[in-house]
Structures are given as structure tokens and as C-alpha cells.
Amino acid sequence: MKKLSYALAAGTLFALSSLAVPAHALPAHPIANASVPGDVVNARYHYVPRKVCTVRTVVTRGYHGRRVVKRVRVCRTR
């Protein structure tokens, strides 16, 4: 119970301290029409297709007809 009351007191102190900050200290929002449309760069997220690798089991016949089992990694790009 003691820890809970300490946590509650700390939370209220934090809330009061954040409300005590003046409003003009907050970052200003940019004005939408202030820039020329030709200067705006359209930045997109660059997605690089990665390899998708799976392990396949290849069964072949070896000496005297015995089964030889190999694990082969097969990779493809998306």
C-alpha cells in the first residue's frame, strides 16, 4: 500500500509539472501553404525485397540403391 501511495504521489507531481510548462514552449506546427509546391520532396519508404530461403530435403539413390538424404537450402527473391 505504501508503494502504491508513493507511485500515485509521483504521478500527480509529474502531471502538475507537465502542466506548469508554458504553452509557448511547445513546438509550433508548420504552416501548410508556406512552402512552394516545387520545393516539396516526396520521400517514400525504400523497401528492399529480401531473400526467402527454405530448406528442402532431396532424396537420391546412392551405392547399391541406398537412399541418400541431403538438406539443400533454396533461396529466392521476392
- Is residue 53 predicted with pLDDT exceeding 90? yes
Widest CA span in the chain: 87
- Is residue 34 predicted with pLDDT exceeding 60? no
Sign of CA dihedral 27, 32, 35, 40: positive
pTM over 0.75: no
Please identify which residue in the block is written with the cell numbers 511547445.
26
- H helices present in the chain, as ranges: 2-19
Domain residue limits, the chain = 50-78
For residue 33, name the pLDDT band (cuts at 50, 70, 90): low
* Mean pLDDT score, 69-77: 93
Task: Report the amino acid identity of residue 27.
Answer: P
Between 65 and 13, where is the model more confident? 65
- Residue 49 · residue 77 · CB < 8 Å: yes
